[in-house]
Amino acid sequence: MSKTIQLLCFALLFQTAAFSKDYILRSPDKKITINISVGKNITWSVLKDQELLIKPSAMRMILKDGINPGIIPVVSKTISKAVNQTIVSVIPVRNKLIPEVYNELRLQMKGNYAIEFRAYNDGVAYRFVTNLGPQPIEVNDEKVAFNFHENCQIYLPKEDNAELQSHYEGDFKPSKLQEIPAEHYGYLPLYVATPAGTKMVITEADLHDYPNLFLYGTGTKTLTGRFPKVILEASPKPNSDRAEVIGRKANYHAKTTGNRTFPWRTIIITSSDKELLENEMVYKLARPNILANTDWIKPGKVAWDWWNDNNIYGVNFKSGINTETYKYYIDFASAYGLEYIILDEGWSKSTTDLLAPNPQLDIEGLVKYATTKNVGVILWALWKPLDQHMEAILDQYVKWGVKGVKVDFMARADQYMVNFYERAAQETAKRKLLLDLHGAYKPVGLNREYPNVINYEGVKGMENNKWEETITPVHNTTLPFTRMVAGPMDYTPGAMLNSNKDEFHVSMTSPMSRGTRAHQTSMYVLYDSPLQMLCDNPSNYLREPVYTHYIARFPTVWDKTIALEGKISEYAVVARKNGNNWYIGGMTNWDARGFDIPLTFLDGKKYKIEILQDGINVGKHAADYQIISKEVVAGEILHIDMAAGGGYAAILTPIG
């Protein structure tokens, strides 16, 4: 090689090295590392201990008028900080006190933007921050990529709607990264397991005035992000009061202010599945509560009408959507200490007029009656009519004395819909109304900023048993490690007609569940849901008062959650504390199994434990269960047995 060529090569290497600058950010426990490289673009890679999880993956934004944060970046300043504090949760979905411990690196760039990185002991996150002035900016695209080091196993709920419309009720089925072809996509959260056993869940948090992120396959070990475009024209689908046909769309996916923070792109990282049962990453990354008064926000259990088709019996009136039927629900709720009833679809004269009650219903009289029984009433509403006349509708609900609104069938995740969620949260909070979001995308932390956002659906839950056969114990033991990692989910448990593996049949009027009665019971401990349903027919519950009194004792919020056992699609066991009491819930897939649980989480007191477990004849009759009471102390070994498709629940109360 000539001396000239050698000098040229040296110069090129020198220029490359000079152009690229690397930064390292580690978690407080030093086990997780983010490597950030700033060259022609910005990339990050992520390691846990010595295992490479994410290879260099680029991040950038494409704005109108040639403003492109992340392209040819120049760092003007770095700001580091360490945070060690405690979040006090207003509505504690998993824990009342949430440790918030992380290290942060902010790269301030020339061009009036920054990128913030955080490293927690249980994950990592980054986001863009712009300071481009108060004038609107158009975001044409955002580059989001996850270049995995290995061909990992994933659970990505796949979608096929070209408009990115969905009710977000997909199946979480296992596959490998390289099996996801280009143009096939799924929504978040995404579960990932490396060959070495590290678990990751990818999602987003602090989503405001910006569309949801969807992940597309590439046929390789890389997933790339895309976003719904801004919808300029949409029309009602023929013969439908809720479905939309998307017409014209903009060439950008957000028009927003130039001074703002953008959503966190986060990777939750754990050594085992069971740690995901305790994770609070989305809540930690969300904006703090902004409501001055939250005393009026009351979580609780709900007697629900829609799943059981108002198919009550043993009464002297015709059941249906009428005042007599809902008084029956109220009496049932009052007798068992349930805080609410829901009047679902059908309570209004039409689904598009939310101010005119069904002629068979005396709403004002019903709410007054419920008030005398210490039961609150929540009303169902289609999102579009509510969006068009929100203030007038909510004002009327307040006049009626209603306690909350269940908003349904949004089925979109674009910028407008994200803003609808926040507007609904604001307007309901002003009026001291709870908000339950159905037909909804996954939680992104809005329930921390507005604690009156009491629950989300966005899950393939019990209702699907009315028309298909996909809700199995395998599905139920997958949800705690996938969808539920993002936040609370309105799965709506409580089926009283239970079936073993080959006994299930579809019914719209007398629906049933797959798995045992104890399997259903375990959901009242295992499934995060501050507004938790008793989905079945009150007549069925009233026929079994011992069982109904048992499930009615479970709280819906928790001071502390401890994961005991867990493996995706196989089993989950947790212990939770509320006040002085502890509760244990466990469920399994179609494999019978047992666990020995050391009661090390108890204090020095003696406890009465009331166990509900699969009965001896559960293999023939899935609703068979038995309740056992005894005394236990801290450190004692508790043996848990679960039948095929079974479950386990326990209530522990201190003695003396």
Give the whole-angstrom CA distance, residue 341 versus residue 365. 15
Per-residue pLDDT of 149-164, as tens digits, reads 999 999 998 887 878 8
φ and ψ of 458, to 5 deg: 60, 40
Smallest CA-to-CA distance from 609 within 642, 587, 643, 582 is with 582
pTM surpassing 0.85? yes
pLDDT, position 597: 98
Q: Which two tokens stand for residue 21?
A: 């600058």
DSSP 535: -
Given the residues 206, 273, 408, 528, select the one marked as catalytic.
Answer: 408
Residue 408 falls in the annotated catalytic set: yes
Query: Which pLDDT band holds residue 165 (cuts at 50, 70, 90)?
Result: confident
For the chain, which domains are there?
22-271 (2.70.98.10), 315-458 (3.20.20.70), 461-487+495-526+555-656 (3.20.20.70)
pLDDT, position 9: 35
Smallest CA-to-CA distance from 462 within 548, 537, 536 is with 536
pLDDT, position 7: 36
Sign of CA dihedral 406, 408, 413, 415: negative
Beta strands at 376-382 and 340-343: parallel, antiparallel or unpaired: parallel
Smallest CA-to-CA distance from 152 within 203, 202, 195, 198 is with 195
Residue 463 falls in the annotated catalytic set: yes
Length of the chain: 656
Given the residues 344, 427, 463, 536, select the one marked as catalytic.
Answer: 463
Per-residue pLDDT of 122-138, as tens digits, reads 999 999 999 999 999 99
CB 333 within 8 A of CB 303: yes
**By three-state DSSP, how is residue 519 classified?**
helix
Per-residue pLDDT of 12-56, as tens digits, reads 333 434 467 999 999 999 999 999 999 999 999 999 999 999 999
Contacts of 619 (CB under 8 A, 6+ apart): 500, 643, 644
* Average per-residue pLDDT for the chain: 95
Give the whole-angstrom CA distance, residue 465 versus residue 477. 16
Q: What is the mean pLDDT of residues 445-474?
A: 97
Give the whole-angstrom CA distance, residue 173 versus residue 16. 43
Per-residue pLDDT of 523-553, as tens digits, reads 999 999 999 999 999 999 999 999 999 999 9
Per-residue pLDDT of 566-610, as tens digits, reads 999 999 999 999 999 999 999 999 999 999 999 999 998 999 999
CB 312 within 8 A of CB 305: no
Sign of CA dihedral 323, 329, 333, 339: negative
